Amino acid sequence: MRRKAEDFQSLHVNPDTFIMANAWNAGSAVILEEAGFKAIATTSAGIAYSHALPDWEGAVSFETALDETTKIASAVDIPVSMDAENGYGDSAESVASNIKKIVATGVVGANIEDYTGSPNKPLYDSQLATERILAAKKALASFDHPFILTARTDCFLTQHPNALSESITRINLFREAGADCLFVPGIKDIGTIKTVVKEANGPVTVVMGLAGSPISLSELQDAGVSRISIGGSLARATFGLVRNAAKEMLEKGTFEFSKHQIVDNELCNLFKDTSKNTSKN
């Protein structure tokens, strides 16, 4: 785990922007590793969809999330970061306790967000949100290897009236509390991303692949972004393929979708080296 942890840490200090694609099960993780990604993350949305559950806070239990994350981390030889939603607890104490269970899955990073899941009060107060990051960081000090703690604020996604200024205030408070990487999802224009990167006191990660955000890797590199994730977009694209294939078969009576499949022998050869690890979990 130490090697993975150090590799992941080095990616965040490297001046080059890296893409951290998101997997929702062991199979998708192996495919992404084979493609050449240097690190991947889990997607809470993708894991929820794979269990026929909505992408809602609490729809997937913490135990299920830990189980799926363990399988993903065990299946690949590259660093994995967990999409840990709100840390699966409201209090700083619960986040501190849960981050230790997250480390036990084999991941070497995780993001903790300030989204409460409540429509009446979608964001934790900035003080409590900061205390939650501080508690997680203190809990991580008990481990003998690096761990990239990403602090996420959902000001844009929850349509905060002062989303930009509030996001900058919060991520810098999180940085002071010990966050290694800062995450502001929901930004759709490069100008705002540049402002966040300029005002942030640490490495910034953004999410791409969402509708209405056609920003390229080179643009994000020029803006100074450290890391790019794709959230649940790849999982949604996969489910889109299943829906389109189903419509083709039922409406046209054809099977053209099969032209894009990976043949059985290739998949068997790809997965044979990981089957022993994943079957243990």
**What pLDDT is attached to residue 197?**
98
Q: How many domains does the chain have?
A: 1
| DSSP category for residue 249 | I
Contacts of 11 (CB under 8 A, 6+ apart): 18, 38, 39, 79, 227
- Look up residue 68 and give its amino acid: E
Query: Could you tell me the CATH number of the domain that includes residue 116?
Result: 3.20.20.60
Spatial CA neighbour of 29 closest among 14, 50, 11: 50
For the chain, which residues score pLDDT lower than 70?
211-213, 275-281
pTM for the full predicted model: 0.95
| Spatial distance between the Cα atoms of 168 and 195, rounded to a whole number of angstroms | 9
205, two tokens: 């990660």
| Spatial distance between the Cα atoms of 79 and 74, rounded to a whole number of angstroms | 10
**What pLDDT is attached to residue 110?**
98
**What pLDDT is attached to residue 275?**
60
Does an H or E element contain 100, and which?
Answer: helix 92-103
**What pLDDT is attached to residue 211?**
66
Range of the domain at 164: 2-279
Contacts of 122 (CB under 8 A, 6+ apart): 115, 116, 154, 158
Average pLDDT, the chain: 95
